[in-house]
Structure 1
Amino acid sequence: MDPKRELTSVDLAALVRELGAYEGAKVDKAYLYGDDLLRLKMRDFDRGRMELVCEVGETKRAHTVDPTRVPDAPGRPPQFAMMLRNRLSGADFAGVEQFEFDRILEFVFEREDGTTRIIVELFGQGNIAVTDGEYEVIDCLETVRLKSRTVVPGSRYEFPDSRTNPLTVSREAFDLEMEDSDTDVVRTLATQLNFGGLYAEEVCTRAGVEKALDIDDATDDDYDAIYEAIERLALDIRNGNFEPRVYVDAEESAEGDNENEDGDDNGGDERSANRVVDATPFPLEEHAALAGEAYDSFLTALDDYFFRLELDDEEPDPTTQRPDFGEEIAKYERIIEQQEGAIEGFEQQAEAQRERAELLYANYDLVDEILSTVQTQREQDRPWEEIEERFEEGKSRGIEAAEAVVGVDGSEGTITVDIDGERIELLARDGLEQNADRLYTEAKQIAEKKEGALAAIEDTREDLADAKRRRDEWEADDGDADDEADDDGADRDWLAEPSIPIRENEPWFDRFRWFHTSDDFLVIGGRNADQNEELVKKYLERGDKVLHTQAHGGPVTVLKATDPSEASSGDVEIPDSSIEEAAQFAVSYSSVWKDGRYAGDVYVVDSDQVTKTPESGEYLEKGGFAVRGDRTYHESTPVGVTVGIQCEPYTRVIGGPPSAIEERAVTTIDIEPGRYAQADAAKRLYRRLRERFEDESFVRKIASPDKIQHFMPPGGSRIAEE
């Protein structure tokens, strides 16, 4: 019997009943894993920490999870997760409803600034849509454009067409649905009454009606028995009369089974040894041949079921199993990346506060006039609204002090000023020196946080070093086997591997656009004006080639003759094939692709022809550069991008010109300009790539939609063969 991977409508009805007990819990944070698993971390005042997961991929589920079982947080939250954090942080969980009897859950969250609804579709391809209180879609994992319904950001969320709800159907409507059928009883219950296969059979069994009975041969007594069985089922769900079970394959659990007749579990060893096949809110007669394990709540049963299902899917071979050093190392590297980001953030915040304090002193007379004006007005009991009006009047008269005031907040007693483009909040009751001292003090406090973060990152680096040491020791003990594996690496069928070890590295150029040519030359391109500026100023060296499209809005593309860590002699001969691939890269990631065109002109120059010094009377924008001398043109260079997964020597997503990527990746997908937004196209690629690997968890770890999007051109795309 195949295990259940999608919750049924009956499951969701029971689930909603139990989740109601968590109303009032507060949301802490939201996480998105891959493109199909949402996790909400919440605090329930009676139960403590609460973890809610909703998965809409191949497995479709929604339930609470034991906090010890939640996956590690992703390194960098995608835009969807950041949007949810902004909308839900501190919000109250106001409840959850099932849309009619469909496999759709609507989670409602309330905060002072508004209502947020998370609508989870657990049918078809699956989807999660976030809407406001009026059902306007803020964002969604998948855009839906069908004749029957539309789900896109900015539009009103549309539920699927209504269907019969068997739990609330009247006797008259029930009779009409049954009589309108032209098949047997069980199929009628499954389709016309929307029970699905399992519960249609369960209703027939409980009613004592033959499943294969033709609908034309069914009697009024049959209808009475079936309707009564449905009413009893509906009553159990409404009243929460649950006796949850997790069922395991009876054939696999026959030996050494120590369960009693009620299905109560007598030992964790037996439970973990059996393959799970279903979890239900009450015992099913249809599962009488299976071993059932009793649980206190349906939520707990679902948590245990899907946790054990994932373990069953992995099925590691104990004779070859090795610790997942790659995952452990990747975890510590993610933590270090986060800590480094926090340290950099502390540095920037502290410096910003110091600069604000210095700006106050540099504009002493102006700031003092503003503060003195406010303090004088307040001493005369002038209301804040009147003070704000006086500043507005002063602006119309061109008074410099009034023009510098951009905000007055009487509730906080603050004045916000704009000095040299920097906005600074001042406490109106304090003088300039006190306000500046406060900013210096805040800078000092932030610097102290940085010191704490530096100490923490050292601890993490020690943990990382320890993990790498243990990995090296393991590999040294198994050196012969590894050598043999390395020898066969070129012929290894990575797509069929049940478990692929993670081997990550983060090269210095990873934050740019990049690829290696067929001749192994590095090509890097800027993602924005700041990176274009950085490439020309910091990474352009003698012997390099610089490429750019004739069309406005393209990346500065540098074809490196040598690595920045190597001495640059300028004597390296770069093959034409590498220049042609770099030209295709330059045109593909430019406005040419964004405009939906399939070719564009690219020019190539030597590094010493590029300068940041404009001619007299000229002006260079940020990211721009001037070229001296002749240019070599590659006219009508075709766009072309391939995205693939590399397994040797590192496991990662790569992307760029097809001729360069195809020989380095174990599987690839070609894309071309198209109608799908960048994020949507990345999700489509992610699903295609995941389907190709036996080890789907490997793809989720190293090739999330966010990482795939890193290698996609700006603008719309589609898979080439679609």
Structure 2
Amino acid sequence: MTSADVAAIVSELSAGPRSLIDAKILKIYQTTDAEIRINLFCHGRGKENLVIESGKRLHLSRYLKESPKIPQPFPMLLRKYVSGGRITKIEQHEFDRIVKIHMVRGGEETVLVAELFSKGNIVLLDADGKIILPLKPITFKDRRIRSGEIYELPGGHINPIRTPEKTAEIFASSDKEAVRVLANNFNMGGMYAEEVFAMSGVDKSKRACDITADENEQIKEAMKKLFGPIDAGTFEPMLVLRSVSGAVLPEMRPIGPSPAGTTAGPTDAADNAAADAAADAAVSAGAAVSAGAAVGAVADTAADVSPSVPAHDVSPAEKETDDSEKEDENPERPDAPLFTLPEGFEIVDVIPASLARYQDLPKVPFVFFSDALDEVFGKTSLTEVREKEKEKAVRRDKKTGIFERRLEQQKATIEKFDREIAKNTAVAEAIYAEYQFVEDIITVLVRSREKFTWSEIIDILKKAKKEKTNKVAEAIIQVMPADATVVVDLNGTRADIDIRKTVPQNANVYYDLAKKFQKKKEGAEKAIEDTLLCIEKKEKESHRSHSGFTLRVKKHWYDRFRWFISSDGFLVAGGRDADTNEELFKKYIEKRDLVLHTQAPGSPLTVIRSEGRTIPESTILEAASFVTSYSSAWKAGSASADCYVVRPDQVSKTPETGEYLKKGSFVIRGERRYIENIPLEAAVGLELKEETRVIGGPISAVKARGKVIFEIVPGKFNQNDLSKKMYRLYQNEIKDAKFLKAIASPDRIAMMMPPGESDIRAGPYDCLSEDSKNEPEKNKA
């Protein structure tokens, strides 16, 4: 942007329909190393996004980049100082490419300086001009842009709008070309300096000192005529195009919303109050907020109780729908661009007013200069980002197939659902744990509402909070009158309490949300199964071993559990977590099966599937080895552990009277058979006959079905590191890399290993070859 462009955008954003004066600052995001986006609420217009790119541009934008998932330090500090504040003034420093945005919050003034010249910066200053934080700390020969330093503006220039009378003095002191003197000393650049001379009719190549008094007056008048409309805000912005195909541009109306009927902002206290309420609503929730919505932290001090403050935690209603903050971080793209470049044309320039140098070129008029700048800078910048994202996606696709990428995303989604389930359940349990206290809060507020308004209640709470005379007041963090809801602190857990509901009803709001996320999780797990099926199908079609192996992959119900096939051919399955323990108990345990568990807590619920047959002792002992080795005893580094065996009818989910069973836990009733001092050891191998897959479990069971076997014991290497090491060693045995990765990638190997840290005791050895069958110890690691 030129200095004239900066003057025009400052003029537009300081007054009129696009004014940002008195706009409320919502959130700030850093979208690139040099760019920030300030989300604003403008009275009478709603949300706007001001984009500032240091060294380049400043304007309102509708072409918005997605924000990083983890906020960077600069926008976080800006939020701390200015979020919730208001813009009081926007000004250009002299006629330089420097914009100062003055802001106030809670009576404290700050200034955001945007340097739009080459190697520019974005700097936050306090009221005394001291640097709070720069976007890019840097030291120049004559300037230090670092925290704690006094901000010094670059060398000044003469403002052609404010002081055109200085031309005579400047011209008289130089013998250089007059156009160069005007461009450099008045900081207007060559293009606008030449325009001034073209409008004045004075020879631009004339020496400055030879400019006569009459010529000087002509130059001054030309400067007023050129820059006057910019200063007054009456300029007519436009895009300058060039035809590259001989096409003719038809006459066009100014592009953009009509400014007629819009207002710059509220003009009285009532309007300001209404605008504040609307702005706070925009901060609190982007969707309709039902009872229990919009929880939050207090604006200036943690001790205050505020009726409308941006939230730190997420309320029940916001959990169920996307909140406004999320919309701001990843804004939706416009349905259609404001302007589409006609075919056969290219953009030459964006200017705030018509210039003689472009008089023969086609032009597209705009209502607002900000929109014209956005079409050139904003759209181009977003397109460049999207192209880079596409290039990254292409490179990623070369490394990771589309199904593998989908699987990673689905796993991340399940993790997110797990967090939401845990969070909502914790809030519900906290409400029940503080049942009487929550009931007291509801009772006090209901009785208070019979006598006082919400504003009076908030004042009473503030006073009691400061005096520390009432536990109920101290526990209330925020009051939301519109929903008859308060946010309370229940021993460190924040909960929305609707005073129109009972304690159980408030708790059920969170339990219901947990159930909804549980259903979503189940859907995501089903989607993972479908994705795995697609991966297996793809691998089966595309991978065929050069060593004579054919990929044979089948889908089994037990794949999502821990499992092994005993040396006698019995399936043994165990849970991976509380959810799969529950599923195994409810769906897959039958009457003649046997159930095993360790004496100490922390093992998978394990079942030997009989399928109507008599289970031999050898399989029971292998299952005992399995249940102990895949328990928490392995994580603890123990050498051995004990377990017991029971019938399915001895396992129950019904606790004793007055007791409670958490998910994944069971009650065992009746006599148990104990198996003691079972060594903790396991094996991982490759099954290459009926099916091609990696298998794990007791050593004897893996030896009976597998090739290229590793024996492992509790040790010092985590699952990921050891699985990668085993994969590298497998590569020495299986020469077909694609086949090996399809059946025994490091992730698949890790799934067959016990939890916790391990060491390789022996292997790899091929148990099905006669040499290694007799002497497996030869290849001990």
Q: CA deviation at 1:282?
A: 0.8
Choose from 155, 170, 173 the match for 1:180: 173
Choose from 64, 74, 93 the match for 2:60: 64
Residue 22 of structure 1 is matched in structure 2 by 19
Q: How does 1:107-126 map to 2 (within 5 A)?
A: 107-112=101-106, 114-115=108-109, 117-126=111-120
Asked if 1:283 corresponds to 2:354, the answer is yes
Q: CA deviation at 1:341?
A: 6.8
From the superposition, tell whether residues 453 and 200 of structure 1 become closer, same or farther in structure 2 (CA, over 3 Å). farther
* Mapped contact 2:476–2:489 kept (Cα < 8 A): no
Asked if 1:563 corresponds to 2:724, the answer is yes
Distance in structure 2 (CA, Å) of the matches to 1:196 and 1:461:
60
Deviations 1:323-365 (A, max 9, x none): 977799899999879866753542343243245346547xx8x
From the superposition, tell whether residues 282 and 447 of structure 1 become closer, same or farther in structure 2 (CA, over 3 Å). same
From the superposition, tell whether residues 453 and 215 of structure 1 become closer, same or farther in structure 2 (CA, over 3 Å). farther
Distance in structure 2 (CA, Å) of the matches to 1:373 and 1:50:
41
Residue 352 of structure 1 is matched in structure 2 by 426
Amino acid in the other structure paired with 1:96? I
Q: CA deviation at 1:97?
A: 1.7
* Mapped contact 2:173–2:209 kept (Cα < 8 A): no
Residue 257 of structure 1 is matched in structure 2 by 247
Residue 399 of structure 1 is matched in structure 2 by none
Amino acid in the other structure paired with 1:142? K
Amino acid in the other structure paired with 1:440? A
Choose from 34, 44, 58 the match for 1:36: 34
Asked if 1:343 corresponds to 2:340, the answer is no
Amino acid in the other structure paired with 1:218? I
* Mapped contact 2:424–2:514 kept (Cα < 8 A): yes
* Mapped contact 2:24–2:86 kept (Cα < 8 A): yes
Q: CA deviation at 1:279?
A: 0.6
Matched residue pairs, number? 460
Q: CA deviation at 1:225?
A: 1.4
From the superposition, tell whether residues 164 and 567 of structure 1 become closer, same or farther in structure 2 (CA, over 3 Å). closer
Deviations 1:301-323 (A, max 9, x none): 2122235656998999xxxx999
Residue 511 of structure 2 is matched in structure 1 by 444
Distance in structure 1 (CA, Å) of the matches to 2:415 and 2:131:
32
Amino acid in the other structure paired with 2:507? Y
Q: CA deviation at 1:188?
A: 0.6
Amino acid in the other structure paired with 2:421? E
Q: What is the DSSP-based 3-state SS (H/G/I as helix, E as strand, rest coil) of the residue aligned with 1:256?
A: coil
Distance in structure 2 (CA, Å) of the matches to 1:228 and 1:161:
27
From the superposition, tell whether residues 437 and 559 of structure 1 become closer, same or farther in structure 2 (CA, over 3 Å). closer
Deviations 1:362-412 (A, max 9, x none): xx8x9999999999xxxxxxx8799779978xxxxxxxxx9x999476996
Q: What is the DSSP-based 3-state SS (H/G/I as helix, E as strand, rest coil) of the residue aligned with 1:346?
A: helix
Amino acid in the other structure paired with 1:192? N
Choose from 137, 150, 161 the match for 2:144: 150
Q: What is the DSSP-based 3-state SS (H/G/I as helix, E as strand, rest coil) of the residue aligned with 2:133?
A: strand
Deviations 1:643-662 (A, max 9, x none): xxxxxxxxxxxxxxxxxxxx
* Mapped contact 2:164–2:223 kept (Cα < 8 A): no
From the superposition, tell whether residues 563 and 354 of structure 1 become closer, same or farther in structure 2 (CA, over 3 Å). farther
* Mapped contact 1:119–1:130 kept (Cα < 8 A): yes
Distance in structure 1 (CA, Å) of the matches to 2:478 and 2:47:
35
Q: CA deviation at 1:168?
A: 0.7
Distance in structure 2 (CA, Å) of the matches to 1:450 and 1:215:
75
Distance in structure 1 (CA, Å) of the matches to 2:149 and 2:417:
40
* Mapped contact 1:332–1:460 kept (Cα < 8 A): no
CA RMSD of aligned residues (A): 5.8
Distance in structure 2 (CA, Å) of the matches to 1:314 and 1:563:
35
Amino acid in the other structure paired with 2:30? L
Distance in structure 2 (CA, Å) of the matches to 1:302 and 1:197:
20
Structure with max Cα Rg: 2
Q: CA deviation at 1:62?
A: 1.5
Q: What is the DSSP-based 3-state SS (H/G/I as helix, E as strand, rest coil) of the residue aligned with 1:97?
A: strand
From the superposition, tell whether residues 166 and 368 of structure 1 become closer, same or farther in structure 2 (CA, over 3 Å). closer
Give the alignment's TM-score, normalised by structure 1: 0.50
Q: What is the DSSP-based 3-state SS (H/G/I as helix, E as strand, rest coil) of the residue aligned with 1:11?
A: helix
From the superposition, tell whether residues 217 and 340 of structure 1 become closer, same or farther in structure 2 (CA, over 3 Å). farther
Asked if 1:295 corresponds to 2:354, the answer is no
Which stretches in structure 2 are left out of the alignment for 5+ residues? 256-337, 447-459, 480-484, 543-631, 638-711, 734-756, 761-781
From the superposition, tell whether residues 153 and 453 of structure 1 become closer, same or farther in structure 2 (CA, over 3 Å). farther
Amino acid in the other structure paired with 1:12? V
Amino acid in the other structure paired with 1:259? L
Deviations 1:223-274 (A, max 9, x none): 12111111222321122221222123x4xx1533313699999x98873432
Amino acid in the other structure paired with 2:426? A
* Mapped contact 1:138–1:153 kept (Cα < 8 A): yes
Asked if 1:237 corresponds to 2:230, the answer is yes
Amino acid in the other structure paired with 2:345? N
Residue 657 of structure 1 is matched in structure 2 by none
Q: What is the DSSP-based 3-state SS (H/G/I as helix, E as strand, rest coil) of the residue aligned with 1:123?
A: coil
* Mapped contact 2:722–2:758 kept (Cα < 8 A): no
* Mapped contact 1:128–1:142 kept (Cα < 8 A): yes
Q: How does 1:332-411 map to 2 (within 5 A)?
A: 343-354=417-428, 356-357=430-431, 360=434, 407=474
From the superposition, tell whether residues 460 and 25 of structure 1 become closer, same or farther in structure 2 (CA, over 3 Å). farther
Residue 122 of structure 2 is matched in structure 1 by 128
Distance in structure 2 (CA, Å) of the matches to 1:452 and 1:441:
16
Distance in structure 1 (CA, Å) of the matches to 2:202 and 2:355:
16
Q: What is the DSSP-based 3-state SS (H/G/I as helix, E as strand, rest coil) of the residue aligned with 2:38?
A: strand
Distance in structure 2 (CA, Å) of the matches to 1:460 and 1:115:
52
Amino acid in the other structure paired with 1:11? D
Amino acid in the other structure paired with 2:176? T
Q: CA deviation at 1:12?
A: 0.7
Amino acid in the other structure paired with 2:178? V
Distance in structure 1 (CA, Å) of the matches to 2:178 and 2:49:
41
Residue 98 of structure 2 is matched in structure 1 by 104
Distance in structure 1 (CA, Å) of the matches to 2:53 and 2:249:
31
From the superposition, tell whether residues 260 and 283 of structure 1 become closer, same or farther in structure 2 (CA, over 3 Å). farther
* Mapped contact 2:86–2:105 kept (Cα < 8 A): yes
* Mapped contact 1:246–1:280 kept (Cα < 8 A): yes
Distance in structure 2 (CA, Å) of the matches to 1:220 and 1:115:
46
Of stretches 557-566 and 19-28 in structure 1, the one that deviates more from structure 2 is 557-566
Residue 766 of structure 2 is matched in structure 1 by none
Residue 3 of structure 2 is matched in structure 1 by 9
Choose from 223, 240, 252 the match for 1:247: 240
* Mapped contact 1:8–1:196 kept (Cα < 8 A): yes
From the superposition, tell whether residues 13 and 423 of structure 1 become closer, same or farther in structure 2 (CA, over 3 Å). same
Amino acid in the other structure paired with 1:56? S
Q: CA deviation at 1:85?
A: 4.7
Distance in structure 1 (CA, Å) of the matches to 2:194 and 2:106:
47
From the superposition, tell whether residues 415 and 77 of structure 1 become closer, same or farther in structure 2 (CA, over 3 Å). closer
Residue 375 of structure 2 is matched in structure 1 by 304
Amino acid in the other structure paired with 1:35? D
